[in-house]
């Protein structure tokens, strides 16, 4: 199942015409600033008068139509959108991510290969090996549970390609919109405690996983993915080997019976169905570690520019980002009542310091009420209330800033050949009557 050419391609191919047919105005090609040309043409697509129409930037894809995809069914999952069925890839619409702790039925699925079947947790083993391991050791899941302190941590898992669908020019790969992210509570043990138990040498550089899923081609000698992180991230207090989620077994598509969770880093490092963890004396060289996978240009490039493999750098922590999870984009609302908003914000290895909201295309901003994370590297919940001065079509924009002073880009971050790290501010549409 492949996504058909949609509104983003329309804007990419012919921005002038897209602006005219969508927003009902023409933009000045020299300045790229829009000027309003009456209110007629727009209503066909958005179906309402646009409030603050003079503030709409040229080439803006309306939030009311920016994230349209198709629904599907999978056991134990509810309301996810299918992007690809082989390998299985499915994301969660933002309004279904409204829970402060993501339930299993709302966590996205990103498979590179074919998951193992008929998994038996009682006979599953995890072997610690590699050039820099002191004592090669094999653990059963029971060993892990009994030998090490059990910890519960709420940690953000986000695919490096989340948001890819909005890059222009478009790039190949799963066309994730916003929902390849979640923040369940993971149950397991610290990766650090296990690494210390088997021991590692001074020359340890990387910690990598191998897993039980098989290659999409069916070839037995090929593995779909084997990635890792620098030893410093592996021994972070929050890095986990998880055997559960929200107090239950892991969902079979989310790594049952054993997975890594490296909060705040590209999801691809958080191996599912793991049976081997290797302590390497070099940067790991497994499938999908090499360029251009999960890498971005070391220096920014122009949109569409090709980049040599050696000029691509491995992604470490994910950038600052936020979601509006209530209300659902596209709702109808009465101008007489105020509208409560809810959402989450997160940023790689650090926390969030501010969450700003605008209802006038960024002309003015308000600060939302931001909660503390329930533990380090959990997403932070925020609340806000807005009032609309008139009826019409509105967009609510949310933008976070983290403790390092980094903010989300208003439009898009730097274009890159594989379409990673799109952390643009989230926008939703509201029709006020």
Residues forming contacts to ligand MTE in the complex (CB under 6 A) are 107-113, 157, 159, 211, 213, 224-225, 254-255, 267-268, 270-273
Residues 6+ positions from 348 with CB-CB distance below 8 Å: 264, 265, 316, 317, 318, 319, 320, 402
| Contact partner at residue 234 from Mo ion, ligand MTE, none, CB < 5 to 8 Å by partner kind | none
Q: Which of 60, 126, 159, 191 binds Mo ion (CB under 5 A)?
A: 159
Q: Which of 112, 154, 268, 329 binds Mo ion (CB under 5 A)?
A: 268
| Contact partner at residue 108 from ligand MTE, Mo ion, none, CB < 5 to 8 Å by partner kind | ligand MTE
Nearer to ligand MTE (CB atom), residue 130 or residue 267: 267
Nearer to Mo ion (CB atom), residue 289 or residue 430: 289
Structure tokens at 224: 């779909």
| Helix (H), strand (E), coil (C) string for 25-84 | EEECCCCCCEEECCCCCCHHHHCCCECCHHHCCCCCCCCCCCCCCCECCECCECCCEEEE
Q: Which residue is nearest to ligand MTE (CB)?
A: 267
| Cβ–Cβ < 8 Å for 160, 315 | yes
Q: Which residue is nearest to Mo ion (CB)?
A: 159
Tell me the H-state helices in 221-354: 231-234
In angstroms, what is the minimal distance from the CB of 88 to ligand MTE?
9
DSSP tag of 167: -
Strands (E), 72-158: 81-85, 88-91, 109-110, 125-129, 137-140, 150-154, 157-158
In angstroms, what is the minimal distance from the CB of 288 to ligand MTE?
8
Nearer to Mo ion (CB atom), residue 204 or residue 250: 250
Rounded to whole angstroms, how far apart are CA atoms 171 and 349?
27
In angstroms, what is the minimal distance from the CB of 78 to ligand MTE?
15
SS3 content of the chain, % helix, strand, coil (to 5): 15, 30, 55
Rounded to whole angstroms, how far apart are CA atoms 402 and 421?
16
Stretch that binds Mo ion, among 8-16, 224-232, 265-273, 347-355 (CB under 5 A): 265-273
Rounded to whole angstroms, how far apart are CA atoms 225 and 168?
27
Stretch that binds Mo ion, among 27-35, 102-110, 185-193, 316-324 (CB under 5 A): 102-110
Residue 182 within binding range of Mo ion, rule CB under 5 A: no
In angstroms, what is the minimal distance from the CB of 323 to Mo ion?
17
Q: Which of 110, 192, 259, 418 binds Mo ion (CB under 5 A)?
A: 110
Nearer to Mo ion (CB atom), residue 159 or residue 229: 159
- Contacts with Mo ion by CB under 5 A: the residue count is 4
C-alpha distances (whole Å) from 394 to each of 338, 407, 429 are 14, 23, 6
Rounded to whole angstroms, how far apart are CA atoms 157 and 152?
15
Nearer to ligand MTE (CB atom), residue 256 or residue 384: 256
Nearer to Mo ion (CB atom), residue 13 or residue 85: 85
| Cβ–Cβ < 8 Å for 215, 113 | yes
Nearer to ligand MTE (CB atom), residue 195 or residue 262: 262
| Contact partner at residue 213 from ligand MTE, Mo ion, none, CB < 5 to 8 Å by partner kind | ligand MTE
Structure tokens at 139: 């653990």
Rounded to whole angstroms, how far apart are CA atoms 392 and 333?
10
In angstroms, what is the minimal distance from the CB of 324 to ligand MTE?
21
In angstroms, what is the minimal distance from the CB of 268 to ligand MTE?
4
| Cβ–Cβ < 8 Å for 259, 269 | no
What are the residues binding Mo ion (CB under 5 A)? 110, 159, 267-268
């Amino acid at each position: 199942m492949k996504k058909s050419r949609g509104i983003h391609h329309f804007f990419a191919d012919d921005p002038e015409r897209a602006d005219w047919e969508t927003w009902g105005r023409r933009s000045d090609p020299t300045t790229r600033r829009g000027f309003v040309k009456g209110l007629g043409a727009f209503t066909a697509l958005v179906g309402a008068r646009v409030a603050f129409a003079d503030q709409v930037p040229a080439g803006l894809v309306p939030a009311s139509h920016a994230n349209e995809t198709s629904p599907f069914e999978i056991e134990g999952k509810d309301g996810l959108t299918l992007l690809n069925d082989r390998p299985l890839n499915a994301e969660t619409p933002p309004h279904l991510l409204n829970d402060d702790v993501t339930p299993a039925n709302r966590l996205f699925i990103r498979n590179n290969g074919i998951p193992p079947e008929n998994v038996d947790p009682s006979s599953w083993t995890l072997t610690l090996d590699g050039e820099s391991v002191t004592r090669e050791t094999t653990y059963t899941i029971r060993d892990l549970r009994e030998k090490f302190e059990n910890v519960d941590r709420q940690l953000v898992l986000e695919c490096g390609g989340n948001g890819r669908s909005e890059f222009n020019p478009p790039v190949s790969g799963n066309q994730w919109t916003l929902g390849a992210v979640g923040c369940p509570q993971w149950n397991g043990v610290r990766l650090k405690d296990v690494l210390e138990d088997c021991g590692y040498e001074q020359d340890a550089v990387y910690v990598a996983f191998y897993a039980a899923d098989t290659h999409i081609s069916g070839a037995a000698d090929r593995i779909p993915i084997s990635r890792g992180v620098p030893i410093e991230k592996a021994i972070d207090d929050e890095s986990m080997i998880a055997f559960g989620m929200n107090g239950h077994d892991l969902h079979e598509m989310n790594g049952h019976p054993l997975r890594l969770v490296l909060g705040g880093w590209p999801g691809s490092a958080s191996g599912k169905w793991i049976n081997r963890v290797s302590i390497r004396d070099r940067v790991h060289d497994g499938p999908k570690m090499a360029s251009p996978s999960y890498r971005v240009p070391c220096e920014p490039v122009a949109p569409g520019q090709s980049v040599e493999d050696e000029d691509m750098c491995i992604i470490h922590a994910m950038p600052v980002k936020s979601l509006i999870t209530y209300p659902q984009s596209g709702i109808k609302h009465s101008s007489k009542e105020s509208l409560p908003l809810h959402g989450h914000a997160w940023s790689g290895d650090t926390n969030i310091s501010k969450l700003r909201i605008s209802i006038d295309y960024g002309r003015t901003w308000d600060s939302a009420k931001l909660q503390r994370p329930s533990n380090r590297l959990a997403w932070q919940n925020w609340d806000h209330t807005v009032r609309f001065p008139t009826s019409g079509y509105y967009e609510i924009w949310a933008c976070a800033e983290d403790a390092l002073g980094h903010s989300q880009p208003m439009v898009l971050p730097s274009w890159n050949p594989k379409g990673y790290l799109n952390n643009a501010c989230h926008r939703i549409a509201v029709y006020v009557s």
